[in-house]
Amino acid sequence: MDTKIEINSKEYQLARYPKTVDKSLRAWSNAELLVLDYIVDKKTENIHLFNDRFGVWNCALNDKKLVTVWTYASQQKAIEQNLKLNNFSDEVNYKTPLEDLNKVDLALLKIPKSLELFELFLQQIHKAANDKTEVVCGFMTKHFSASYLKIVEQYFNVVQQSKAWKKARLLVLEQPKKIVEYKELVNTINWKDNSIKQHYGVFSSGKVDIGTQFFLEHLNVKEDELNILDVASGNGVIALEAFNLNPNSNVTLIDDFNLAIASSQLNLKDKKANFICADNLNDVEKNSFDLVVSNPPFHFEHENNIEVALNLFKGVQNCLKINGRFLLVANKHLNYKTHLGKLFNEVIVVDSNKKFEIIECS
Ligand SMILES: C[S@@+](CC[C@H](N)C(=O)[O-])C[C@H]1O[C@@H](n2cnc3c(N)ncnc32)[C@H](O)[C@@H]1O
């Protein structure tokens, strides 16, 4: 994998976290480089960074005062890893997308795949904006659509698009609108007797995902399964159902995305539940769970890969009790059964339909 990059005559080392076997993937994109080029002569000291996925901006702008709005635990690890790799301090001034920002003069934003997350970022910026605020958004042209422009126009009066450079382009936003009616950027999904809440940008907006629905229809929890883990828990709908099926249980939810964890905290606030924002199970106690449930991740922004899920499966094997069960739902074409067969003694497809299968491992 290519890890060396020269930016404004300085060389940096930038590696991906988590590591990947796909050698074509790099820890930066031309969209991020184009943003850096655009701001090279700007004197602004106080810069807010949104969606700096692997830390290219944190490294290249290390001499400035930066605030990093983070979304993924794995993103924090990538940023800190790359700061260390370039001999910078790995202390980062983080904020979540749900926190108030002090004053935004210049914001750099790598446009996320989720339109909702894009709007959440823009609203957060707008709340802390002044007449001089400038927002520089970078994107790869193949990932752009007019829907992003519709969102932008709700918050800013001046919207300019740059020329393309190496298949990347910029949207530069200026003059925040004087009057914007802020919405609460939370969706509500009615599911059985529950009303599930989720912050904008969390998996499966507006409805329970069809794979998840199939899983929930077939989910069973035994009376003696008291310690339950939901891996890649999203809004927490699977954990909630598991808890409802065994109200004596204690559920732990893990997700890499801080807005997913924040959403599940809304949905399980009065339940016996622990919430962990993490991208692996390394800090979870070994042999501690009776039942692990999951609809594991497969899409990461515009990339699809099963490496992350396979790593989570190894973690599940470690934290499951000897007689514990691991129940998951997956797209049939992913062929997880073969991979799981290398980790568990018994791997059975307990239910399937045209698209999905539910696998039980013990
Ligand atoms: C397919 S969604 C399932 C969400 C939820 N369980 C549901 O069924 O609606 C997968 C989830 O995995 C999370 N995720 C991605 N990478 C992860 C990782 N390395 N560790 C934990 N969660 C991860 C995503 O943020 C997303 O919420």
**What DSSP string describes 86-121?**
TT------EE-TTSPPS-EEEEEEEPPS-HHHHHHH
CB neighbours of residue 299 within 10 Å = 10
| Of 18-22, 164-168, 355-359, minimum mean pLDDT range | 18-22
pLDDT of residue 36: 98
Who wins on pLDDT, 151 or 301? Answer: 151
pLDDT of residue 323: 95
pLDDT tens-digit map of 115-148? 999 999 999 999 999 999 999 999 999 999 999 9
Residue 221 Cβ contacting ligand 1 at under 6 Å: no
Substitution candidate for ligand 1 out of 189, 233, 300, 304 with most atoms within 8 A of CB: 233
**Residue whose CA is at the smallest distance from ligand 1 atom 13:** 232
Which residue, 309, 256, 275, is CA-closest to 74? 256
pLDDT at 1 over 80: no
- Full-model pTM: 0.97
Ligand 1 atom closest to residue 300's alpha carbon, by position in its atom list: 15
User: Using CA atoms, how far apart are residues 199 and 116, in angstroms rounded to an integer?
Assistant: 9
User: pLDDT above 90 covers what percent of the chain?
Assistant: 94
Residue 71 Cβ contacting ligand 1 at under 6 Å: no
Ligand 1 atom closest to residue 202's alpha carbon, by position in its atom list: 27
Domains of the chain: 4-176 (3.40.50.150), 186-361 (3.40.50.150)
Residue 241 Cβ contacting ligand 1 at under 6 Å: no
Q: Give 2's pLDDT tier (boundaries 50, 70, 90).
A: confident
Residue 232 Cβ contacting ligand 1 at under 6 Å: yes
Q: Ligand 1 center to residue 234 CA distance, Å?
A: 5
What does the pLDDT average to over 289-302?
94
pLDDT tens-digit map of 32-83? 999 999 999 999 888 999 999 999 999 999 999 999 999 999 999 999 999 9
Residue 256 Cβ contacting ligand 1 at under 6 Å: yes
pLDDT at 109 over 80: yes
Could you tell me the end-to-end alpha-carbon distance of the chain, in angstroms, rounded to an integer? 36
**Residue whose CA is at the smallest distance from ligand 1 atom 15:** 297
Write down the mean pLDDT value for the chain: 97
Q: Ligand 1 center to residue 135 CA distance, Å?
A: 29
pLDDT tens-digit map of 169-214? 999 999 999 999 999 999 999 998 889 999 999 999 989 999 999 9
Type of residue at 161: Q
CA separation (Å) from 216 to 58, 227, 243? 41, 18, 12
pLDDT at 326 over 80: yes
Which residue, 334, 362, 332, is CA-closest to 347? 362
CB neighbours of residue 62 within 10 Å = 16
What phi, psi does 119 have (nearest 5°)? -65, -40
User: Using CA atoms, how far apart are residues 53 and 3, in angstroms rounded to an integer?
Assistant: 15
Angle at 19 (CA atoms; ends 301, 229), nearest 5 degrees = 70
- Are the C-beta atoms of 254 and 222 separated by less than 8 Å? no
